[in-house]
Amino acid sequence: MKKNEEKTSVLFLENGPIQVTGTLKISGQYGEKESKDPVYFCRCGGSKNKPYCDGSHRTDGFKG
């Protein structure tokens, strides 16, 4: 690993989203986005901003 590269970490938050930290490239129908900030992906299926978490898990009773 190069000196300036961060390890990528994936954490499944209890009853919440998937948190990904480190350098991340996200590709989809609208192009590509690179992020070095933590990114939170929806696991509950209720987000209005999929694939990203919008906090819906807090009110929809998601357990995971």
> CATH number for the domain including 30?
3.40.5
Within-domain flag for 63: no
Within-domain flag for 3: no
Half-sphere exposure of 46 (CA within 13 A, CB side): 14
Residue 10 CB-density burial (10 A; 0-12 exposed, 13-18 middle, 19+ buried): exposed
Within-domain flag for 38: yes
Residue whose pair of structure tokens reads 């807090």 in the numeric block: 58
Q: Which domain holds residue 24?
A: 9-58
Q: Which two tokens stand for residue 5?
A: 């590269």
Within-domain flag for 36: yes
Q: What is the pLDDT of residues 16-55, one digit of tens each?
A: 999 999 988 888 888 898 888 899 999 999 999 999 999 9
57: helix, coil or strand? Answer: helix
Rounded to two decimals, the pTM is 0.81
Q: Specify the number of domains making up the chain.
A: 1
Within-domain flag for 2: no
